[in-house]
Amino acid sequence: MRISFVQPRAELSPYVEAFWVFESSIGMPRTDQSMAAPNGCAKLIIPYENSLMSIADGRVQVSREDGVYFVGNRDTSTTIYSPPRKTGFIAIEFCPFGAYAFWGIPMDESANRLLASEEIFGRWGRTIREALCNIAGVDEKVGFIQQELVSQLCQNHHSTTLTEFCVNTLKHSDGRMPIHELERKTGYSRRYLGSLFRQQVGFPPKTMAEIFRFQRFYREWASGQSFDQVRDELYEYYYDQAHFTKEFKKMTGYSPRKFTHEVSNEFGRRLALK
């Protein structure tokens, strides 16, 4: 398995969290428990060799070779696998407010969903998919999608200034900032911020805070630390151990102890440490 990270073009960098290409000669075996944990990012997935299967909330969906798919912001994990043959796909992870800046679509309508590009983007999605099918090289596909995203941003840039400030504030506090403090800093009510976040991010600020708080410990796991090693930090982030366990299980499907001792998830580990 190889994950190669791509430097987004300067115009895209404020809105793209990560850009990478996955390659494997044997695919993604189901036994590997390859998992994408919630990180607050909607994604564009482009399988150019082999199809991908994903299991989320008990539902199996297929992302077919030569398709283009949009994965909305998620607050539960997704397990990914593929048929056992050579596999390659391109992934673009948008900042929590990033996808809205390009398309201006209500992000709560795609939350916890996987949608074909035509279904969510209409004509643009169909045109992009057809063009990518006719481009042979991976580097050329990457260059093409970058150019198309730059064009989309120039033509349809939707302002996300307030949302960006709120997201970055929550993220820099690892999700510990109370929402009433966000109200005080911005001068906007909880109700208004909730409506804005659903439109531009997909989830209200409280849910995003939960994801950022979870990511704090998920990154610790990815770096090789066990649940026991981070136990002393829990009470700075959660009411108690039961609260931590409940949120961790919601976002991974496992208790913290079972996850750290039984789940390898090398795929998720590499992405968490990007």
- Per-residue pLDDT tens over the stretch 191-238: 999 999 999 999 999 999 999 999 988 888 888 776 677 767 776 788
Given the candidates 2.120.10, 1.10.10, 2.30.130, 1.10.3470, the CATH classification of the domain at 161-272 is 1.10.10
pTM: 0.93
Average pLDDT, the chain: 92
Give the architecture-level CATH label for domain 2-156. Sandwich (2.60)
Across 102-129, average pLDDT:
96
The predicted structure's pLDDT at residue 244: 84
Domain ranges (residues) in the chain: 2-156, 161-272
Q: Transcribe the chain into DSSP letters.
A: -EEEE----TTTTTTEEEEEEEEESS---GGG--EE---S--EEEEEEES-EEEEETTEEEEE-TT--EEE---SS-EEEE--SS-EEEEEEEEPTTHHHHHH---GGGTTT-EEEHHHHHTHHHHHHHHHHHT---HHHHHHHHHHHHHHHHHHH----HHHHHHHHHHHHTTT-S-HHHHHHHH---HHHHHHHHHHHTSS-HHHHHHHHHHHHHHHHHHTT--HHHHGGGHHHHSSSHHHHHHHHHHHHSS-HHHHHHH---HHHHHHHT-
Report, as an integer, the average pLDDT of 42-55: 97
Express each pLDDT in 237-253 by its tens digit: 887 788 888 888 888 88
List pLDDT tens digits, range 215-225.
Answer: 988 888 888 77
